[in-house]
Amino acid sequence: MVKFRRIGSIAALAVAGAIAGCGGGDGYRSAPSIIVNTDNGPMQGLDDGTMKSYIGVPYAAPPVGDLRWQPPQSPQRWTKTFDATRYGNSCPQNADLGAFASAGGEEDCLYLNVYAPDDRSSISGPLPVFVWIHGGNLTVGQGADYNPHDLVVNGKAIVVTFNYRLGVLGFFSQPNIDNEGHTFGNYGQMDQTFALDWVQRNIAALGGDPKNVTIAGESSGGTSVLAQITSPLAAGKFQHAIVMSGGAEIIRHPFFGASRPVEYARKLGTDFTTAAGCGDLSAACLRKLSAKQVLALQNPFIVNQTIIDGTFMPMHPGDALRTGKFNDVTIIDGTTRDEGTFFAALPENATGKAMTADGYRAGLVSWFGETSATVAGEYPLSNYGSPSEAYAAVATDYLFSCPAMNINKWTSKKTRVHAYEFADRTAPSYIPPTSFPLGAAHTFELAYIFPGFHGGNGSTAELNASQKSLSEEMVRFWTTTSSSASWTDWPAYTSEQANVLQFSLPGPQVINGAGFEKYHHCAFWNALGVY
């Protein structure tokens, strides 16, 4: 029998604005327990009067020992009722994204959490299912950081969050391991697919509809959604997809977010093996390393994006989306208006110093090499209030806004696509203050879907009344994807009408894609051939 390590107590999720996975738990101590059957055996959750929860449920065997750098395996059945009232471990991670996430975790981390509404009086039949893939550069994060209250109670959806392997433990290619005869490389994204298998097998027992599953994710969660859309191994496991700030998946320029050829990943894996002292490139030697040793060594060798391995990812995701070789699902795809300010804030918060003009130019060189002067000419410092704001504009347009518009153009030829931009520049911030305005930064829309979102160790900031109204609109759309063909207030993106719904105050408005592309310099980036 596999033993599952358990941690933490469940947060009082029914309290609007509470933070999932953030200690506490008194609200559940007197809550009645509930039992459902899964294919691994019965499990006992809790009911707080508004929402049922089953948390810390193992969906795969612990990926430890010989199962490290192996595709996920089924957990053993349990013979007694499983106690699904405590979150499982997060996966091993360093604190690489500032306030977004905290360091820690254990390799025994492949757990999921399921939440269902108590009040189903307005719905007949099974409920829609919303599966959330957390972000964090494929190196940090956990499912327990996301409070599902509004999606569950107001959106009347069953919500599933989960953990997947991260960093070198989750994305790794190395000759001797690759030759073991199993699918290799994208172990973390194979975990994601495995969690979707669990949903297909078990969600009906929890009141959900396995034929009405939406997967959604933000940042590297969004790139992971694109990976699931383009992976043949995920075909048929979901019907709708929401890509939030995930366009970096299609970038070809060898920088942050670009999908990696297996040769590139294998070179990094070989170098990691040498750095770990496994001079004979022995897989056994690598599997003897502790998780702490892996984390201490991994930073120069991280593959922070999907590996084009030939099986999970047969071709570059951009090619798959461009040529229609992707799974038959409807798509919502969008960004925030000021994505890049988040990334400009990271070094300032780490050093306490604002970016200089020389720092801006050096940053462009590190990104674009000999093309950096061309980029600097398109984004001259004289057009911006500070070097940080110029840097942020480049990051916004290159990494997020323009890739998203290309994805919309390509995928709308085959399926129904709805495009959006989150543009509330008064959105509350959970990261420390900066010398420049953050605006509608990367991740700032998350608090509008997951109440009180504050990353792993950031500051909680409440929405005001107008922002709560905007949040209600977003939750409505995010939980009714199966009805998107009948939406009258969010028209689809098509080649004839490039509609983009802008989530802004005082309320959402439809804007034209041509204006969006001009604002974000998309003609410039497309001409550079980076996508």
- At 72-92, the pLDDT tens digits run 999 999 989 999 999 999 999
388 inside domain: no
Count of domains observed in the chain? 1
381 inside domain: no
Q: Which of 316, 442, 454, 520 is an active site residue? A: 442
The pLDDT score that the predictor gives to residue 32 is 63
- At 185-216, the pLDDT tens digits run 999 999 999 999 999 999 999 999 999 999 99
Q: Does 110 or 34 have the greater pLDDT score? A: 110
152 inside domain: yes
Mean pLDDT over 375-385 rounds to: 98
Whether pTM > 0.85 for this model: the answer is: yes
Residues 6 or more apart whose Cβ sits within 8 Å of residue 452: 17, 18, 19, 147, 460, 462
Domain range for 320: 26-350+398-528
Q: Is 482 a catalytic residue?
A: no
% pLDDT > 90, the chain: 85
CB 360 within 8 Å of CB 389: no
CA–CA–CA angle 219, 327, 200 (5° rounding) = 85
Residue 108 is part of a domain; what is its CATH number?
3.40.50.1820
CA–CA–CA angle 20, 243, 507 (5° rounding) = 80
CA–CA separation, 1 and 109 (whole Å): 17
203 inside domain: yes
Q: Which of 107, 218, 249, 339 is an active site residue? A: 339
CB 85 within 8 Å of CB 48: no
21 inside domain: no
The pLDDT score that the predictor gives to residue 460 is 83
What is the average pLDDT score of the chain?
92
409 inside domain: yes
Task: Report residue 230 as tokens.
Answer: 């383009």
Q: Is 418 a catalytic residue?
A: no
The pLDDT score that the predictor gives to residue 97 is 72
How many whole angstroms from its chain centre is CA 297? 24
Check pLDDT > 90 for residue 11: no
The pLDDT score that the predictor gives to residue 254 is 64
Long-range Cβ contacts of 265-271 (<8 Å, 24+ apart):
265/171, 265/172, 265/173, 265/185, 265/303, 265/307, 266/173, 266/174, 266/175, 266/178, 268/173, 268/301, 268/302, 268/303, 269/172, 269/173, 269/174, 269/175, 269/177, 269/301, 270/174, 270/175, 271/300, 271/301
For residue 47, give the H/E element and its range: strand 41-47
- Type of residue at 345: A
377 inside domain: no
- At 125-170, the pLDDT tens digits run 999 999 999 999 999 999 999 999 999 999 999 999 999 999 999 9
Q: Is 339 a catalytic residue?
A: yes
Q: Which of 90, 102, 173, 219 is an active site residue? A: 219
Task: Report residue 461 as tokens.
Answer: 């900031």
Mean pLDDT over 347-355 rounds to: 95
The pLDDT score that the predictor gives to residue 95 is 78
6 inside domain: no
Check pLDDT > 70 for residue 276: yes
Model confidence at 14, pLDDT cuts 50, 70, 90, reads: very low
Check pLDDT > 90 for residue 19: no
- At 27-66, the pLDDT tens digits run 334 456 799 999 999 999 999 999 999 999 999 999 999 9
Of 426, 430, 369, 421, the C-alpha closest to 397 is: 421
Of 516, 483, 485, the C-alpha closest to 500 is: 516
Model confidence at 18, pLDDT cuts 50, 70, 90, reads: very low
